[in-house]
């Protein structure tokens, strides 16, 4: 692992404005957050703070919040968000080697991935796949990046990256994440709404709600319960 915790802020830090008004973000700021597994899955409803937290981790570590691989020329010089400006990672010995200027890893986020993958593929950048992303489906382009760039030591951040993937492709993504997590110099943090992704064996699951952030077992997740009830009785959700 590259870091074991997010340190709590000092009492002098201002937490009166957004994003610290979001319950889970305020809790992280005031109490810190522990990471207990090489793979951490963060779940929560829209507006719960998942993306905000993942972006701040990217900023603190040194990944470009727009998405892409680490140590990009302009990635570490971007203006940080309010949380990223103050968030501090408790790095391991390995994590300390990966300074912001030499941050190894990849940030795959749904909202920017397709444009970034298209550009990298068209430019012939190594590891992004040989076929133009305009010639394959969104799901295939995601898998090109995952199979080509998710390799070697570093931090791998994913923000709802499973969006365009079929169930089969989502499982392929899960297998790949488990494989690279065997490297002791790899850490993965994944923000998602997916009950499949959150079921990655051995992953630490953190649920963000209006009450804060807490570690939760997979079968106790709100999203798992909702999916289960829907699959058991789909029509019941639409009956008057």
List domains and CATH numbers for the chain.
3-237 (3.40.50.300)
Q: Check residue 38 and give its pLDDT.
A: 98
Those residues of the chain that have pLDDT short of 70 are: 69-77, 110-139, 141-142, 145
- Encoding tokens for residue 29? 């700021």
Tell me which DSSP letter residue 8 carries. P
Query: Which phi-psi region, left, alpha or beta, contains residue 147 (left: φ > 0; alpha: ψ -120 to 50)?
Result: alpha
What pLDDT, on the 0 to 100 scale, is given for residue 194? 96
Instruction: Report the pLDDT value the prediction gives residue 122, as an integer from 0 to 100.
Output: 57
pLDDT attached to residue 112: 59
* Per-residue confidence (pLDDT) for residue 132, from 0 to 100: 46
Query: pLDDT value at position 136?
Result: 53
- Tell me if residue 1 falls in helix, strand or coil: coil
Q: Tell me how far the alpha carbon of residue 123 is from its chain's centroid.
A: 26
Taking a C-beta distance cutoff of 8 angstroms, is the pair 41, 190 a contact?
A: yes
DSSP 8-state assignment for residue 79: P
pLDDT for residue 161? 85
């Amino acid at each position: 692992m590259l870091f074991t915790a997010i340190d709590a802020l000092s009492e002098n830090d201002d937490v009166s404005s957004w994003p610290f008004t979001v319950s889970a973000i305020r809790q992280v700021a005031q109490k810190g957050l522990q990471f207990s597994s090489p793979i951490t899955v963060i779940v929560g409803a829209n507006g719960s703070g998942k993306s905000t937290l993942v972006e701040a981790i990217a900023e603190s570590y040194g990944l470009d919040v727009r998405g892409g691989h680490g140590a990009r020329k302009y990635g570490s010089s971007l203006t940080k968000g309010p949380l990223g400006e103050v968030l501090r990672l408790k790095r391991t010995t390995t994590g300390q080697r990966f300074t912001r200027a030499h941050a190894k890893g990849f940030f795959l986020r749904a909202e920017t991935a397709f444009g970034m993958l298209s550009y990298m593929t068209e430019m012939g950048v190594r590891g992004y796949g040989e076929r133009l992303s305009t010639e394959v489906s969104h799901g295939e382009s995601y898998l090109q990046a995952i199979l080509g760039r998710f390799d070697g030591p570093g931090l791998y951040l994913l923000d709802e990256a499973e969006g365009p993937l079929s169930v089969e492709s989502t499982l392929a993504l899960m297998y790949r994440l488990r494989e690279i997590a065997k490297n002791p110099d790899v850490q993965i943090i994944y923000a998602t709404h997916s009950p499949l992704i959150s079921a990655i064996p051995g992953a630490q699951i953190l649920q963000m709600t209006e009450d804060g952030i807490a570690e939760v077992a997979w079968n106790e997740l709100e999203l798992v319960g909702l999916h289960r009830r829907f699959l058991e009785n789909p029509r019941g959700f639409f009956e008057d």
